[in-house]
Structure 1
Amino acid sequence: MNIFLMNSVGKDTWGGVEKWMWLVGCGMRDRGHAVWCGARPGSRFLQRCGESGLHESPVDMHGDVDPRTIATLVRRFKKHQIDVIIANLNKDVRLAGIAKNIVGKPVLISRAGLALLPDKQVYRHTYRWLSDGIITNTETIKSTYLSYGWLPDDFIRVIYNGIEIQPLPQIDEAAIRRQFGLPAARPVVGIFGRLVHQKQHDKFLAVAKTIANQFPEAIFLITGDGPLQPEIEQMAEQMGIRGRVFFSGFQQNPAELYAFCDVVLLTSAFEGMPN
């Protein structure tokens, strides 16, 4: 099959959804399918796909029904003889859905890692006329969508996330401490994720404050980037623990830092496809 992964996420975003789509693309390629990745030019998602040997298909994303974007997708779907589209956001469903209806061939599947489909008329039309199905990794999301009353049971398929079991890598702790300016021989409590409200770094810092009071030698490592970093830094300053909170920034391959941490916290308000 010829598969097109459609993801209009921001250029600097790399989260669980992007990793899921990338892993699916690599897995389908390894099974003999041809995979194209449609995303914003210069995006982390597109770059990672290209580095992994998937076909890059940069698309300038404009409005949800922008004729220029739709025309570009029509040309791509025809040129590559796309059989299946996997779309991420509601925007992607609209753009790719209109394009595939014009072409008349590809099947469009929307993936739902979070319950981002509201029970509103505009979404009812979008998914009834532009999408051929939804895949999600949780029965909770399927139940939520079925409760709306306008999606049939067989329209939504639950496919659980696979877990690739690998041993944590051997690490050079001294080198990691030097790289990120961490003091030697002190226990590390970490958190991994985009610096956005969903991840609730305020709760991580509240826990860090409690730990710091009981274990003065502990330090705290925040891995990821995002718009809330200045706010998180200020919060740590106000709590009196800024000198013990360290930021590693975005890490494309964070496994070494996972292995480096003594404890990792997950404080997210909700998760759909965490990796």
Structure 2
Amino acid sequence: MTEFRILQLCTAFPPGGVQRHILDVSAWLRARNWRVAFGGTPGAWMNEEIDPEFFSVDIASVAAYGGALPRRVVAAHATARRLRQILKQEHFDLIHTHDTAPALVAKLASFDMKIPIALTFHGAEPKRVREFGMIAKRCADHVLTPSRMSADELAEVSGIPREKIHATGLGVHQPPAMKDADILSLRRRFLGEGDTLIVSIARLAHQKAIDHLVAVAKRVHARHPGARFVIVGDGPQRREAETWIREAGLGGVVKLAGASNIAHLFLAASDIFFLPSRWESLPITIVEAFRASLPVVATDTGGVKELVDDSVGAVTPVGDIDALTERLSAFVSDKALRSACAATAQKRSREDRFDPDAVNQKMADLYLEMISPARDQRRANG
């Protein structure tokens, strides 16, 4: 067993793409004898009952949704004290933080302990990218991001040396085996009397632009009465989403499936994947849609253009309801176009850049690069 121990520090652990990434990487590392623990505000996907190597640290109280700034500053110091106690007891070799609040808490907590800190950029609202870069420059030894475009942007706005920013790629597992009967049953349930099922896998949150999705759905359905939409996910905007759908008169057209552990079935049961986000880094759901042979219509944010071009779907400006409507309508009305893009999408999903082993090995190599000098220095200092 390796002697190295890693702490994966996340704001909170509700169902979500960032959390899924952390759990996938950690499972891969553990399978190769790395010792991995988790820290953050407990949630449905990670808590003390799920994993004995989970440490409850209320980082959510420090994040942007933790309340007014004075309250968050007080919370940051209290949370850092709690984490510092854990670090002294558990002796971690590296802290891998995910977003700025965990990075800030880790930096405060590890003062004078010489524990290297990695920080992954999972995407941010455009106006927050510079803020992320400023915090990353002060709190992290190395910065990771799945997207090459995001890496270049961070280097430009933050002043972090480009060699300390690493575009790791996006490792995506193959979906589990599925029964045709299960796929057909799910399709019938959400398609109803329609003829084209458009799926979005997204948290019901401002980032994912559910309000824009509903606006586009109303226009697309007016042109193509057989179009149906299903949103797989839950989140803080659940009530707003229900209101938007009701006020648009789309109660039978746009359905909220809620959080689900069978997202792969929804993809297999659908015809088009739709992601109108306000911001992203490199969305794992797009590659999962490719694996399900779905064309993708998405907004031009983060590294989306590293994944999507005209051969597999369409990319439009963020918030451009007219453009989103036109491109999505084109795929709803043209089965031949969908089929051609689906074949290319499936082929693209098999590219090496989406191989979990290759991507995770790159991360493990960076861990070793960061750990060895820090450990040698600690030993030299006694």
Please confirm whether the aligned pair reaches a TM-score higher than 0.5, indicating the same fold: yes
**Match for 1:5: what amino acid?**
Q
- Residue 279 of structure 2 is matched in structure 1 by 270
Q: Within 1, Cα distance between the matches of 2:139 and 2:88? A: 18
Are the equivalent residues in 1 in contact too, given 2:193–2:226 (CA < 8 A)? no
Matches within 5 A, 1:195-234: 195-234=204-243
Q: Please give the per-residue CA displacement for 1:147-182, whole angstroms capped at 9, x wherever unaligned.
A: 23632222211111113234662251465369x676
Q: How far has the Cα of 1:191 moved from its partner?
A: 1.3
- 1:200 maps to a residue whose letter is A
SS of residue matched to 2:172: coil
| Alignment-derived partner of residue 5 in structure 1 | 8
Q: 1:237 aligns with which of 210, 232, 246?
A: 246
In structure 1, what residue type is equivalent to 2:86? Answer: R
Structure 2 Cα separation of the partners of residues 67 and 241 of structure 1: 47
Whether the aligned pair in 1 keeps the contact of 2:124 and 2:280 (CA below 8 Å) is no
Q: CA deviation at 1:115?
A: 4.6
C-alpha distance in 2, partners of 1:78/1:138? 34
Q: Which amino acid aligns with 1:44?
A: A
4+ residue stretches of structure 1 with deviation over 6 A?
none
Instruction: Return the alpha-carbon distance in structure 1 between the equivalents of residues 194 and 137 of structure 2.
Output: 58
Q: 1:248 to 1:110 in 2, by over 3 A?
A: same
1:34: which partner in 2?
A: 35
Cα distance in structure 2, aligned partners of 1:40 and 1:149:
28
Taking the aligned partners of 1:263 and 1:3, their CA distance within structure 2 comes to: 39
Query: Does the 8 Å contact 2:87/2:110 carry over to 1?
Result: yes
TM value normalised by structure 1: 0.82
Aligned match of 2:266: 257
Question: Partner letter of residue 89 of structure 1?
Answer: D
Selected match of 2:55 from 48, 57, 79 = 57
Unaligned runs of 5+ in 2: 62-71, 285-382
Distance (whole Å) between structure 2 residues aligned to residue 219 and residue 129 of structure 1: 47
Which amino acid in 1 is paired with 2:58? D
SS at match of 2:118: strand
Q: 1:149 to 1:136 in 2, by over 3 A?
A: closer
Secondary structure at the aligned position of 1:44 is classed as: coil
1:22 and 2:23 matched:
yes
Structure 2 equivalent of residue 82 of structure 1 = 92
Identify the residue that residue 133 of structure 1 maps to in structure 2: 142
Identity of aligned residues (%): 23
Quick one: distance in 2 between partners of 1:80 and 1:186? Answer: 56
Residues 6, 38 of structure 1: 8 Å contact kept: yes
Distance 2:91 2:170 in 1: 28
Structure with the bigger percentage of helix = 2
What is the count of residue pairs matched by the alignment? 266
Distance apart, 1:40 and its partner CA = 0.8
Q: 1:141 is paired with a residue of what secondary structure?
A: helix
- Which residue does the alignment assign to 1:153? 162
Partner of 1:110: 119
C-alpha distance in 2 between matches for 1:240 and 1:185 = 16
Residue 258 of structure 1: CA displacement? 1.5
Structure number with higher relative contact order (C-alpha < 8 Å, ≥ 6 residues apart): 1
Q: 1:39 & 1:114 partners in 2: Cα distance?
A: 19
Change (3 A) 1:222 1:118: closer
**Alpha-carbon distance in structure 2 between the residues aligned to 1:262 and 1:232:** 22
Please tell me the root mean square deviation across aligned C-alpha atoms, in Å.
Answer: 2.9
**AA matched with 1:14:** P
1:212 deviates by 2.4
Given that residues 224 and 251 in structure 1 are in contact (C-alpha distance below 8 angstroms), is that contact kept between their aligned partners in structure 2?
yes
Seen in structure 2, the aligned counterparts of structure 1 residues 188 and 106 have a Cα distance that, compared at 3 Å, is same
Cα separation, 1, equivalents of 2:279 and 2:130? 19
1:54–1:247 distance in 2 versus 1, CA, 3 Å: same
Deviations 1:82-105 (A, max 9, x none): 111111121111111122224x14
Separation of aligned partners in 1, 2:164 and 2:147? 14
* Structure 1 unaligned spans of 5+: none
